[in-house]
Amino acid sequence: MFSDVQTFELLDARKMLDAVGNLPHLQEIIEEVETGIRNNSDKAFDGSKCLIECTCKTILAERGEEVAPNIDLHQLVKQTAEKLGIRSILGNDFRDMLSGLTTTTRAIATIRNSYGPLSHGKDAAHECIGGYQRYMAAKMAEMVSVMLYQIHKGVPADLLYTRQDYDGDHADNGLVDEAVQVEVNDETNEINFVDYGVFRPSQILYALDRQAYKAALQAAVDSAVNDDAPEQEQEASG
């Protein structure tokens, strides 16, 4: 079929995987599609549909949007596009292209239901479809997924739901650092971020740096043992 079928990779999808932090479930789906293409297996259709579903649900989760159970694939893509405001981002000139996303994803779902071996099970005599169709489904699924994710990354994050790691160099964090007043209770060591919350040192370390929490705990235990040592020696000598 293709000269490079044995080395087929979803390169753009793998870049997306790196961006989301190499989440195992997404990695498994990408590998399933790639393996399906390399092994001439129609499981590539199952993986292609899953790739779009996983991407859309990840985006919606990071924007606090619930997804209806058993939602159709094209409806899931439509919900994701609406949540991202893609129509206003792309403009009216790209309206037909945006509508094409729905058509494409509907077709991928239909093909998967008809030929994907993991879709409700098939007759044992079920025959595989050709390699060009698998390749097209895989690349179209990758295109839809990566495009949606790229737009998602370009739209301001929902700070209540985003999974983005803290970036100390981000300008927003500098603004917060300058704006928030901090007070420390000398008796309890509690840290009061005035108007925003009171936190214990152990609470902060436990949530943000478990290794530092462990080291602080060990230091506290060692200090307590050392403080008790003179009393124990005095009792023993007495």
What is residue 231's predicted lDDT score, i.e. its pLDDT?
Answer: 59
Q: Both tokens of residue 166?
A: 């803290």
What is residue 140's predicted lDDT score, i.e. its pLDDT?
Answer: 95
What is residue 207's predicted lDDT score, i.e. its pLDDT?
Answer: 93
Contact criterion met (CB below 8 Å) for 129 and 42: yes
Checking if the pLDDT of 221 tops 90, the result is yes
Contact criterion met (CB below 8 Å) for 52 and 77: yes
Give percent of the chain with pLDDT exceeding 70: 92
Whole-number Å distance between alpha carbons of 170 and 182: 20
Length reported for the chain: 238
Higher pLDDT, 10 or 164: 10
Whole-number Å distance between alpha carbons of 104 and 36: 20
Contact criterion met (CB below 8 Å) for 53 and 75: no
pTM of the model: 0.80
Which residues are registered as beta bridge partners of 192? 183, 198
Predicted confidence band at 100 (pLDDT cuts at 50, 70, 90)?
Answer: confident
Whole-number Å distance between alpha carbons of 223 and 206: 20
pLDDT in tens, 197-218: 999 999 999 999 999 999 999 9
Predicted confidence band at 6 (pLDDT cuts at 50, 70, 90)?
Answer: confident
Whole-number Å distance between alpha carbons of 26 and 145: 11
Higher pLDDT, 176 or 3: 176
Q: For the chain, which residues make up each domain, given as ranges?
A: 5-154, 171-226
Higher pLDDT, 224 or 161: 161
Whole-number Å distance between alpha carbons of 176 and 84: 26
pLDDT in tens, 86-98: 988 888 888 788 8
| From 66-75, 120-129, 192-201, the region with the lowest mean pLDDT | 120-129
Whole-number Å distance between alpha carbons of 31 and 24: 10
